[in-house]
Amino acid sequence: MLGGSIAGLLTARVLVDHFAEVLLIEPDALDGNAQVRPGVPQAHQVHTLLPAGRSQLDRWYDGFSEDLLAGGAQVATSVNSRVYYNGRLKVPVPGVEMLMSSRPYLESVLRRRALALPRVSVLRDRVVGLDIDGSAVRAVRLASGDSRDADLVVDASGRSTRVGHWLEDAGWPAPPLERMRVDINYSTALFGRPEPEPEVAFTLATWGVGRTPEGLAPAIVDAVEGDRWIVMLGGYGADKPGRTLDALREVCARLPAPFPAVTSGELLEPIAGYTQADSRRRDFLAVDRFPARLIVIADAAASFNPIYGQGMSSAALHVSCLSQYLCGNPDLNQPARHFYDLQRVVIDAAWQTSAIPDLALPHVEAPRPPGMKLAQAYGNMLVDGTVTDVHLARSFAEVTFMRAHPNTLLHPGVVARTLGLAAARTITGRVSG
């Protein structure tokens, strides 16, 4: 397996059920609590674990949530969370919980569990090519000059995978790569948290497309382990808010509580900036020839605008697709088309929830599919409805938390409620205007 991060550590758990030996090949040192991960440059940015990802992590590593909580991770509930949309506080959705921790800590807990599995070992090296013999991948070539034979190769090397080049170098077509430029900028900062159990532990401030007031930014503040707050400001294109402490405090002073108070506290580490240029996905079913015994998973297959928080949960869902594929006793000498069919459902749904709404961003240059304007108008009405209506808020949350397919937002009941509330808002607006 290539990569010992979220996807690799989860895949190891699935593979031990099917193979005698699992080898994780990873360039970074994975010993102990390793928090320094050059191979994961996004690690210091805020990372939200969506409920779908949490259930998959608990599925593959029983008691994972408890382990995370035992080390100080916090729980966001409908009582201690605040979500603002266009400056208005949204109605809470009872019964929905999210675990909040830093990404390095989450990964260290996952790593501890994965490396304790029987028959799993780690090789510190970097994969630089594939040996394809006849119709199947037989070995991976390593930067050290060595190579390793494998019955199944899983590429979990993240969004900068070279798998397309490796296939071409071996005389195979590269799966087409679709890229949609979004240029999302993050600034993330850690502050001390004097209160162990703050009244408000999670706050998200978002705006509809084109509605962010001058000088503000979409923003998150989470209580995380180690009695810390993690604060993130986001922007698009040339807008890189909060890259200095003064700039961050200036923006947060205009955001709702607890942003001003949190950011007036002690900054614990330098502010970490990060820019992700695009959302991207590879289509493994579009090539007429694809070698057997090769699985490409998680960010190496598709990675999205991180503002939607889908990455780790997508990785976990791809891993469950791999389990379903392997449990069907597939012929490994044939390309893993069934796996890619299963994975495509997850990728399409995540793309529909993130890349399609991003087409509304004025700076995004990409062809707009027919019906886009209508879909966006409906999307805006729906999200406006979620501010006050708990039923719509729940349906929307199930989709954004990756527990329901985006098409559920087109069920007749949801459409009727959305249109009814939009009509009521128009009438109220006219009467009061």
Ligand X SMILES: Cc1cc2nc3c(=O)[nH]c(=O)nc-3n(C[C@H](O)[C@H](O)[C@H](O)COP(=O)(O)OP(=O)(O)OC[C@H]3O[C@@H](n4cnc5c(N)ncnc54)[C@H](O)[C@@H]3O)c2cc1C
x-marked contacts with ligand X along 41-60 as a string, rule CB under 6 A: -x--xxxx----x-------
Q: Using the rule CB under 6 A, is 335 a contact of ligand X?
A: no
Residue 289 three-state SS: coil
Residue 159 CB, nearest approach to ligand X (Å): 6
Contact status, residue 394 vs residue 385, Cβ threshold 8 Å: no
Query: Of 317 and 326, which has the nearer Cβ to ligand X?
Result: 317
For the record, the structure tokens of 27 come out as 């360039």
Could you tell me if 206 and 386 are in contact, meaning their C-beta atoms sit under 8 angstroms apart?
Answer: no
CB of 9 to ligand X, least distance (A): 8
Contact status, residue 274 vs residue 186, Cβ threshold 8 Å: yes
Q: Judged by CB under 6 A, does residue 401 bind ligand X? A: no
**Is 276 or 386 the residue whose CB approaches ligand X more closely?**
276
Shortest Å, Cβ 169 to ligand X: 13
| Helix axis angle, 51-60 to 6-15, nearest 10° | 40
Give the nearest distance from C-beta 373 to ligand X in angstroms: 29
Judged by CB under 6 A, the residue of 12, 22, 25, 346 near ligand X is 25
Q: Which stretch binds ligand X (CB under 6 A): 36-44, 167-175, 319-327, 425-433?
A: 36-44
Candidate list 18, 59, 124, 126; residue touching ligand X; CB under 6 A = 126
| β-pairing verdict for 88-89 and 81-85 | antiparallel
In angstroms, give the least distance from the CB of 2 to ligand X: 4
Q: Give the rounded distance of the alpha carbon of 226 from its chain centre.
A: 23
Could you tell me the two tokens for 137?
A: 């991948």
Instruction: Please identify, among the stretches 76-84, 292-300, 389-397, 398-406, the one whose residues bind ligand X according to the rule CB under 6 A.
Output: 292-300
Is 148 an interacting residue with respect to ligand X (CB under 6 A)?
no
Check binding of 403 to ligand X (CB under 6 A).
no
**Closer by beta carbon to ligand X, 384 or else 401:** 401
Q: Residue 8 or 175: which CB sits closer to ligand X? A: 8
The DSSP secondary structure of 131-150, one letter per residue, reads: EEETTEEEEEEETTS-EEE-
End-to-end Cα separation, the chain, in angstroms: 62
Structure tokens at 292: 């057997």
Distant-in-sequence, close-in-space partners of 315: CB < 8 Å, separation ≥ 6: 6, 7, 10, 53, 156, 297, 298, 299
Min separation Cβ 426 and ligand X, Å: 35
Which residue in the set 233, 315, 317, 350 belongs to the binding site for ligand X (CB under 6 A)? 315
| CA–CA distance, 111 with 427 (Å, rounded to integer) | 55
Applying CB under 6 A, does 74 fall inside the site for ligand X?
no
Closest CB to ligand X among 229 and 418? 229
Q: CB-hemisphere CA count at 13 Å for 397? A: 21
Detail the DSSP E strand segments found in 17-92: 22-25, 48-49, 74-76, 81-85, 88-89
- Say whether residue 127 binds ligand X (CB under 6 A): yes
> DSSP assignment of 303-345, as one string?
E--GGG--HHHHHHHHHHHHHHHHHT---TTS--HHHHHHHHH
**Residue with smaller CB distance to ligand X, 156 or 248:** 156
Residues in the chain: 433
Tokens of 43: 């690690």
Binding test (CB under 6 A) with ligand X, winner from 156, 262, 319, 359? 156
Q: Report the alpha-carbon distance of residue 21 to residue 31 in Å, rounded.
A: 19
Residue 158 CB, shortest distance to ligand X, in Å, is 3
Touching ligand X, residues 252-291 (CB under 6 A) = 274, 276
Q: Does 83 bind ligand X (CB under 6 A)?
A: no
124 binds ligand X (CB under 6 A): no
Span of 20-28, 87-95, 171-179, 250-258 interacting with ligand X by CB under 6 A: 20-28
- The distance of closest approach from Cβ of residue 204 to ligand X in the complex, given in angstroms and rounded to an integer, is 11
State the number of binding residues for ligand X (CB under 6 A): 38
Chain contacts with ligand X (rule: CB under 6 A)? 2-8, 25-28, 39-40, 42, 45-48, 53, 126-127, 156-158, 186, 274, 276, 298-300, 303, 306, 309-313, 315
